Amino acid sequence: MTMFAQSIQYIEPQGTSNVSNGMLYFQSAEQELNRETEPATLTSVQALLGCCFYIMTQSRLNHCWSLFGTTSRLVLALGMHRKKFNLDGIGDSTGCLIESECRKRTFWCAYNLDRYLSAIFGRPCAFHDDDIDQEVPAIIEDHALGSTSVDVASRRAMNIMLGPLAHQQLARILSRILRQLYGISSLDETARHETMARLGAEIQTWRDQLPAFLNPDKVDSRILQPIYQRQSNTLSLAAGHCLMLIYRPCLFNDYTKSSHDKETKENVKRCVDAALSVVTIIDYMVESKQLYPSLWFAPYQAFCAVVVLYTYTIRNHKDNQAPWKEHFEAAERCQRLLFSITSPSSLGRRLSVIMEEYRLEVINQVQQSSQSHTSKSMSLSETALEPGATSWLESIGTEDNLFELMDLPNWEQLDSLMARQEQIISAVEPLHVGQFMFCRITTTEGIIGYGEAGIWGHIEAAATCINRFAEYLVGKRAFDIEHHWNVMHRFSYFQGLAINAAISSIDIALWDIKGKALGVPIYELLGGACRTKARVYGHIYESTIEKVLEECKRKMEMGFSAFGHINSFLDEGTDKVYFKTHVQKMRDAIGNVRKMREVVGDKVDLLVELHRRLTPAEAVTFCNGIADTFPMLVEDPIRPENADAMARVAERISVPIATGERFCTIYEFQALLARNALEYARVDVAVCGGITGAKKVAAMAEANHVQIIPHNPLSPIGLAACLQVAAAIPNFAIQEYATGFEAGVFESTSRHLGSDIVDHVPTPKEGFVDIPSTPGLGINLVANAQEIRPPLVQPIRMRPHKDGFVVDQ
């Protein structure tokens, strides 16, 4: 799957975008990896490493850093960094040459990525050179490698493996550069220049030892076969990157105060020459159509080079002898090429935004200086690659402040810089899929966010409201979530379920967009994760106590440690006329709870659902009757609108009350909290203002020592929104996991409601689910969701009472 995710990006898009298709393959791969319960293997490490490389192409740098942390630990656990390994019986006991070579290749591939991630983020490496004695891969091409022998006759001078081996050697030098020049031990000026000279000599020695066909000084890469062209260009880019890192500190030196003035100027020239060589290679790659939109390595090196050349321009534009104008134009040309060739979601495109902001700042610096200094005449184009771009380098000011850029390109906050890229809302659409109402929001950058409206029963009304709010939202900034939330809430005199459910779906979709744009799960934008897993309870819908007890046993076998929607009054059909005496009603319901407790013992928590069917007096009788079974809670014993009545019930029982699923605003929760009328707030993220509203309710509840149990009898989109909130709040208790109510029928199921219309559903393991850590919600609708589930509308019906009135159930 990871290979498909990578390769499909090199295919011309047909129908849905190739980026979207790649993401689907990636998410499928991630889902398969999450299902793995066996010990790690070489194959699982290869799959994880493939995921890391795919994420890099999608510019999700923080996600890649996190995932690579897991991958690197598995590499170490398998002993792939050692020549000889036998950890707990894991080892190359088969003597298979193919597996042995795959282990070497995988490790050194991971090693290279580790060094580049360290360079990008300015963080320590995962692999330490002192711990490594693994051999480099053999110079054997795949077709010549057998499980027990090597086809020597098929060897050739221009071996494909020579390129990866040369890159691995360069990565070892890069490791020394990062450790010696950018480590925690600071160097004085003399020691720094000596270290630069030594490392620069290592690069030259490495270049001299390259095979002739990989050395552009000996063979022009443009005359080579495509695969050798790519290898030669990649090595040249990597070498240029190393040289820029070696000499870059000199670019920020104050030449007038340096005791190594001559050395500093020579090193600046070496740094700039390395940047120019990278720019030239980018030209070659575009010319030969080898700079693909989905690449990450070449755009990253190009970015480093452009930053160096723009910085050189700022430092030297007052010097009439310096060739700064030519260097600026070369950087500008490289930037334009990179922007024109990259896809909207790629790392190259996002880096282009930063380059454009820096370019505008360079122009500003030069033009300000030219007003008071005699300098080269220069007409610099101020046409931005992206309209409305603003400078992120406003703090530079004078040359003295350029020392703040010493860490470029170690962008610790690269993803936060990307937030400056405008995400303008271009479309807001309701999607009626089966019994669900979704909101799909698209931005001008092509990012799609999904939300869900919790309005089963009045679904068409929510669609109308979403379309109405679209008139306001289109053309606005997608990131201004709190502002939009308040505008939509305060707009009219009237609110209510339909309007607030629409607002909720829009709010969830906007958070999804923001997470995707920044490459982080939503909980990272809400203060970070309090937890990585969420406890869940499964639904039980049955019409007889015998079926309820059987379903209890089945849910226990599925691993649930809590059951919800346990209706002690049973889920009988709405077509049956209802009547029981008070004593029958109470004894039957109390007896049913006792039977459930006998079946599940102490291994399962019972969340008893009452669905607002009782009067306050009946609620007190029932709750006190089941108190000795220690239910976790009773939900909605009476209608919750009357906060005083709910408070009277709470005062007279010893069982905790959960309520709030029908509340549309934070103020309704406040009325109950002020009266100590609940112990668990059942905030519905798809009704009470989305993720923004749920966070507000959770904060109020926390101040009252009340826990949150998000309500969600909806699709996995609603579940994902709940889980993002659950991750970010300290007072989360348990999450509703909808296993039933398909097409509005009160029957239990073995999987989550609506699992067939999304690309991923968190699966319970031992009563918990992993909270999605992929960008945004971590879950998307599949393209043909509406074909899978045609729209459904709930008929208006209530169960009749024997006296001719209706019954709540």
What pLDDT, on the 0 to 100 scale, is given for residue 99? 87
Backbone angles phi, psi at 29, to 5 degrees: -65, -45
Q: Which domain CATH number covers 543? A: 3.20.20.120
309 in a domain, yes or no? Answer: no
Instruction: Inform me whether the pLDDT recorded for 378 exceeds 50.
Output: no
DSSP 8-class letter at 697: H
595 in a domain, yes or no? Answer: yes
Handedness of CA 149, 154, 156, 159 (dihedral sign): negative
β-partners of residue 427 are 442
778 in a domain, yes or no? Answer: no
Instruction: Inform me whether the pLDDT recorded for 482 exceeds 90.
Output: yes
Instruction: Inform me whether the pLDDT recorded for 321 exceeds 70.
Output: no
Instruction: Inform me whether the pLDDT recorded for 680 exceeds 60.
Output: yes
Q: Structural domain tally of the chain? A: 2
Task: Choose the final residue of a domain: 724, 756, 788.
Answer: 756
Rounded CA separation 712/741 (Å): 12
Give the rounded distance of the alpha carbon of 181 from its chain centre: 32
What pLDDT, on the 0 to 100 scale, is given for residue 16? 44
Burial of 796 (0-12, 13-18, 19+ CB in 10 A): exposed
Q: Mean pLDDT over residues 244-271, rounded?
A: 79
What's the pLDDT tens digit per position in 144-201? 888 777 776 666 668 888 999 999 999 999 999 999 998 888 888 889 899 999 999 9
521 in a domain, yes or no? Answer: no
Rounded CA separation 331/275 (Å): 9
What pLDDT, on the 0 to 100 scale, is given for residue 570? 82
What's the pLDDT tens digit per position in 546-569? 999 999 999 999 989 999 887 788
Least confident of 215-219, 220-224, 756-760, 783-787: 220-224
Instruction: Please give the sequence-ordered ranges of beta strands (E in DSSP) within 592-676, or none if there are none.
Output: 605-609, 633-635, 657-659
Task: Choose the final residue of a domain: 756, 777, 792.
Answer: 756
Task: Choose the final residue of a domain: 724, 740, 756.
Answer: 756
What's the pLDDT tens digit per position in 15-69? 444 445 576 777 777 767 766 667 888 988 998 898 888 888 877 788 888 889 8
Give the residue ranges of DSSP H helices in 187-260. 189-208, 226-247
688 in a domain, yes or no? Answer: yes
Residue 409's nearest CA partner among 281, 308, 309, 483 is 308
Rounded CA separation 602/598 (Å): 9
What is the extent of the structural domain holding 637? Answer: 535-756
What's the pTM value of the predicted model, to 2 decimals? 0.56
What pLDDT, on the 0 to 100 scale, is given for residue 418? 42
Rounded CA separation 692/422 (Å): 21
Instruction: Inform me whether the pLDDT recorded for 500 exceeds 90.
Output: yes
92 in a domain, yes or no? Answer: yes
What's the pLDDT tens digit per position in 711-732? 998 999 999 999 999 999 999 9
E strand or H helix at 564: strand 562-567
Handedness of CA 43, 47, 53, 57 (dihedral sign): positive
Q: In the structure, what pLDDT confidence band is assigned to residue 390 with cuts at 50, 70 and 90?
A: very low
Instruction: Please give the sequence-ordered ranges of beta strands (E in DSSP) within 390-516, or none if there are none.
Output: 425-433, 436-443, 448-453
What pLDDT, on the 0 to 100 scale, is given for residue 519? 85
What's the pLDDT tens digit per position in 75-115? 999 999 988 754 444 444 456 888 888 999 999 999 999 99
Q: Mean pLDDT over residues 500-527, rounded?
A: 95
* pLDDT, the chain, mean: 85
* Cα-only R_g, the chain: 31
Is-contact 498 458, C-beta < 8 A? yes
412 in a domain, yes or no? Answer: no
Cα distances from 84 to residues 80, 124, 133, 134, 306, in angstroms, run: 9, 26, 9, 8, 44
7 in a domain, yes or no? Answer: yes
